[in-house]
Amino acid sequence: MQRNSTLLREITLQGLKWLDPVILHTARSCTNCGRCGGACLARLRDLSPARAFRLLQLGRLDEVLTSRFLWACIGCRRCTWSCPQGLDVSKAVVRLRRLAARHPQARFPEHLMRLIM
Ligand code: SF4
Ligand code: SF4
């Protein structure tokens, strides 16, 4: 069963292999322990880092890129420090945000929009 889900995840991530290598490595190596989600100061938004990487493993990239969570991240790095796999979760979140900025349905927070417009 575990082998099947690992294989399925690998097939899904193959379809996303154009993604930034840091994002891809994090999604590939994440064991879904949830610790980064518990440590995250931005988790009260729609996603947590743990949930975001789970969605990526399921190929649901759009949901991640249109989330409010990406823009609520304050770069505290608690997710990185809490990851038992030694993954640089916060770096991957920053790379996801960079990607999200180009998404047509990106959810920029209003105060950021006011700075840009
Ligand atoms: S760096 Fe961002 S994603 Fe990581 S714990 Fe802090 S707020 Fe959450
Ligand atoms: S702490 Fe690391 S292994 Fe655990 S859910 Fe977060 S990214 Fe995945």
Q: Go through the domains of the chain in sequence order and give each one's CATH number.
A: 2-116 (1.10.1060)
User: Atom 7 (ligand 2): residue with closest C-alpha?
Assistant: 30
Residue for token digits 């609520």?
72
Q: What is the pLDDT of residue 33?
A: 97
Q: What is the pLDDT of residue 50?
A: 96
If you measure from the C-alpha of residue 26 to the centroid of ligand 1, how many angstroms do you get, rounded to a whole number? Answer: 14
80, 88 contact by CB (below 8 A): yes
Q: Atom of ligand 2 at shortest distance to CA of 30?
A: 8
Is there an atom of ligand 1 within 6 Å of 87 CB?
Answer: no
70, 87 contact by CB (below 8 A): no
Pocket test for ligand 2, best of 28, 31, 51 (most atoms within 8 A of CB): 31
User: Atom 7 (ligand 1): residue with closest C-alpha?
Assistant: 73
Q: Which ligand is nearest to the CA of 29?
A: 2
Helix ranges (H only) for 31-77 are 35-39, 49-57, 61-65, 69-72
Q: What is the pLDDT of residue 103?
A: 76
Sites in the chain below the pLDDT cut of 50: none
